[in-house]
Structure 1
Amino acid sequence: MTKKKSSKNTNVIKFIDLFAGIGGIRAGLESAIHECGFVSECVFTSEIKPHAISILGFVVFLIVGS
């Protein structure tokens, strides 16, 4: 994880999501980051299991799309 201050004075924490599964760890991490007053940005997600990928796509849509 890296912490970066953008030009808009917003603290951004960028991270990668390896072995993503269905996105539970990512959801918890992003929730904790936001509770601490930071903005999160997942810059890479990796998963190889087809079923997990289909569920993960739906979960990320719910998180990012809302």
Structure 2
Amino acid sequence: MRRINALGRVLSPHTDKLVFSFLDVYRKIRKRLAAHPCRPRAPAAARHTGVLQDAANA
């Protein structure tokens, strides 16, 4: 989280938004992902909240 925070500080003069994503589902690959036996899932709410709290405290 410290590295992401540092990257955000470096980029902040040049952009308004920093998106950190493990998977971005593009329209072109949506059908292939839907047919794949290993489907991505959203993190549990508690884990998501913890990540956001860690980022805010970094």
TM class, shorter-length: 0.3 to 0.5
Higher RCO (Cα < 8 Å, 6 or more apart): 2
Structure richer in helix, relative to its length: 2
Q: TM-score, normalised by structure 1?
A: 0.33
Q: Which is greater in Rg?
A: 2
Structure richer in strand, relative to its length: 1
Q: TM-score, normalised by structure 2?
A: 0.36
